[in-house]
Structures are given as C-alpha cells and as structure tokens.
Amino acid sequence: MAVKQFLKCNVCGKEFEEAVKTVCDECFGPLKVQVNLEQAKEKLTKSVLAQRAQSFWRYFELLPLNEKRNIVDIGTTVTPLVKAERLGKLLGLNNLHVKNDAVLPTYSFKDRPVTVGASKAVEFGYRVFSCASTGNLAASTAAHAAKAGLQCYVFVASNIEESKIASIAGYGPTIISVEGIYDVANRLANEAADKYGWAVMNVNVRPYYQEGEKTLSFETCEQLEWKKPDAVVVPVGSGSLLYEIWKGFEEFEELGFVGKEKVRFYAAQGKGASPLVDAVKNGGAIKPYKEVHTIAKSIAMGAPGDGDAAIRIIRETKGGGESPSDEEILEGIRLLAQTEGILTEPAGGTTIAALKKLAEQGAFDANETVVAYVTGNGLKTVDAIPKAKRASVKPKIEEVDAIIANAHLKQ
C-alpha cells in the first residue's frame, strides 16, 4: 500500500520518509508533512464527511497518523462559524463570519495541532510530552499528556499572564518558566528535546503537530457550504497557523471539494511585536524583534519560525496585515464581546482590531465573505482586562432604580 504521508522540504521540495525530522538535509529548509491526497480521495467524499460526527478526527484520512488506536483526543470538536451580523454592520461588511475556536476543550485553537502532535508522538513511541509556549500550547499539551497518562514538562515565557499559568497548572505538568521572551524558551525546549528524548510538540514533532491547524480551513469551507471565503484575518505568532489555514484551502481545492478561487490572507499582530506585519507593510524581509511589548502575549514572538512561508502567502494572495496598539486590542475585545457575545483573549482582540483597521482602509468589498479567526478564550486572560466597572448597591430596589435611570440617560 502507498504511504499515507511523507515529509517535504518547504524550500527545495526534497521528499523524505516520515520520521522525527524537522529540517531538510539538502538546504536546511523547514519540513512539512504532505498527506497522500490521491489515496485520501478514494475514501473521503463530501457525502462521507456529511455522515461523520462533528469531531476533529472526522478528517482522519487527511491527517498524518497511521493507526486510529494512537489517537489522543480530549474531545476536540468542529467549532462554530458565527455569522457576525452586528459586528459586520459596524464595519460595513455584509458577510462577516467569526470562527470561534475559543470554545475548544482547553479554550484555544491549540487543541487542533496538539491532538495530532500528541497522537503522532504516541505512534512514534514517546513517553513524555513537552512544548515551548506563550501559554495556550502549554495548557493543551498538558491536557493531552494527562489524557494519555504520560509525563509532561512545559517551557513558558516568563512574561505570560498569571491566569494563564493557573490554567496550565490545573492539568498537572511540570511548568518551567524561562526568563525572557518566547524565543528564548523555545531554544531551551529544543535543547531539552535532544537531551531527554521528549516529544516537544512545536519542536521535534512540529511538522505533524502543525497539520492539525489546517482543519480550521476544512471546517470553514464546509460551514460556508463548500465555498472558500474571499478573505481571512489570522492572528500571527510564528506564522504556522496562517500557513496551515492556507494549506487546508489548497488541499480541499485539490480534492475537488471547493473551487480554485484564491483567498486573500491578512495577518494580525500586536504593535510592539509585529515583525511579520512590518515586513508586509514595508515590502522587505522580516526583521526579528529582540524584545516584544504588547498585551497580545500569546502571539508575541520575536522571530516568526514560519514567517517566510506566511509572508509568501500574504504577498501571493495580495492580502496584507495590521498591528493594532494595546488600546485598540482592548477595544477589539470589547467590540467582539459586545456585538457577538464572544469573549476572546488579546490575540482575538488583535484579530478584531486588525479587521477593523483593514475594513476602514477599504481592504474588503462590502459583500465579500470575510472570516476572522478567533483563536483563544478571554477567561484565560482576565488579568489583561482593565478592572471591571460595577454598580454596588444595598439590597434596596430604590438603589437599583437610580442605576437604571442613569443607564437610560447614557444610551
């Protein structure tokens, strides 16, 4: 039987058998997984998909795992694609949708790559999971390790929110907080992977782990009734998510599930940590940041690992990018919560703030289908939200009357 998947260099195209391997022997380019689409086509049709449960692993034929018994699944599901009528109206967009990954089991999109990375790590025979993280990946890795009954060590950047640390700790991993920014934690995780023989999700099993992210575009197409959107806005840290969303659209096109129309890609990064958006705007190469300063900490990375792939997509699809300030990010969080009822973390606020700026610049036609990817939950980052205003009363209805009268005046 033909192989289900192989590794392919994203720079020179050289192919390798599946293995724990991340860079090309020829040119040191990053390796990506390529699933055998011809083989998948024989089993997977639109009508087969229509009969499957709304769970993440409904795309098994398109994911780089050989045996279903190796699946580590904490209940990751298809997430809602919400037609954002009220937010769209404010932004002059008649077909705006929000893909809400804040509802996944560990409250961020990271459950998608981690269910694949963890399953593949089990298939390769690893007994310990690890990762380098800005917070969300660590929670997901620890949850999957718990589910698989394996040990877990997570490296986190020392500047992340206290509430995020708490959410990781609940799953019981050893948390190693590394002094410095994410990029430093990532280097240390690399060293530990070599020294201790762990499966580090975003390091040595990265090509497999990343493949989980493309399911976001599979779901988007199905939810748009087998159509691609015209444009997408994606939060960017390393650039992996943006690259994989693009790859998912390409694969669905190759399978004949959607047409050949191109999707424009727009990147969202926080001002103070926007190496990719800077390069998009000035047309040059990506210049890494040594320090990062933004409240969007989960996407604050100095040197985007998949930046070259991401920028190529943005340029080829004639998309763009925006890098909102902290105030604009907070406004983005409020805007989404108060128009669509979705509370997101600053990474999602960055996406909505970038969407707003881009809409104001005329990046989208009013009737185009635009999808904004909201990738993390606001309850994980309560520290980022300014102290909530509240009205305190004695238990007397007259005091409530006064507040209501006042609220009406403000409307």
Ligand X SMILES: Cc1ncc(COP(=O)(O)O)c(C=O)c1O
Residues forming contacts to ligand X in the complex (CB under 6 A) are 108, 134, 136-137, 235-241, 298-299, 347, 375-376
30 versus 235: smaller Cβ distance to ligand X:
235
Strand pairing of 31-35 and 5-9?
antiparallel
100 versus 240: smaller Cβ distance to ligand X:
240
207 in contact with Zn ion (CB under 5 A): no
193 versus 267: smaller Cβ distance to ligand X:
267
Q: Smallest gap, in angstroms, from Cβ of residue 190 to ligand X? A: 16
| Residue of 134, 140, 172 lying closest to 156 (CA atoms) | 134
379 in contact with Zn ion (CB under 5 A): no
Question: From the list ligand X, Zn ion, none, which binds 235 (C-beta under 5 to 8 Å, kind-based)?
Answer: ligand X
Q: Smallest gap, in angstroms, from Cβ of residue 181 to Zn ion? A: 29
Question: From the list ligand X, Zn ion, none, which binds 237 (C-beta under 5 to 8 Å, kind-based)?
Answer: ligand X
Q: Smallest gap, in angstroms, from Cβ of residue 15 to Zn ion? A: 10
44 versus 245: smaller Cβ distance to ligand X:
245
CA distance 10 to 305: 13
Strand pairing of 199-200 and 231-235?
unpaired
Question: From the list ligand X, Zn ion, none, which binds 113 (C-beta under 5 to 8 Å, kind-based)?
Answer: none
Cβ atoms of residues 291 and 181 within 8 Å: yes
365 in contact with Zn ion (CB under 5 A): no
Cβ atoms of residues 304 and 286 within 8 Å: yes
Q: Smallest gap, in angstroms, from Cβ of residue 7 to Zn ion? A: 10
Beta-bridge partner residues of 178: 157
12 in contact with Zn ion (CB under 5 A): yes
CA distance 52 to 264: 30
95 versus 238: smaller Cβ distance to ligand X:
238
Q: Smallest gap, in angstroms, from Cβ of residue 97 to ligand X? A: 17
Position among 5, 29, 74, 296 found at the interface with Zn ion (CB under 5 A) = 29
Position among 3, 19, 23, 27 found at the interface with Zn ion (CB under 5 A) = 27
Question: From the list Zn ion, ligand X, none, which binds 299 (C-beta under 5 to 8 Å, kind-based)?
Answer: ligand X
CA distance 288 to 271: 14
Question: From the list Zn ion, ligand X, none, which binds 321 (C-beta under 5 to 8 Å, kind-based)?
Answer: none
Q: Smallest gap, in angstroms, from Cβ of residue 30 to Zn ion? A: 9
Q: Which residue stretch of 20-28, 113-121, 252-260, 272-280 sits at the interface with Zn ion (rule: CB under 5 A)?
A: 20-28
Q: Smallest gap, in angstroms, from Cβ of residue 31 to ligand X? A: 16
Q: Which residues bind Zn ion (CB under 5 A)?
A: 9, 11-12, 14, 24, 26-27, 29
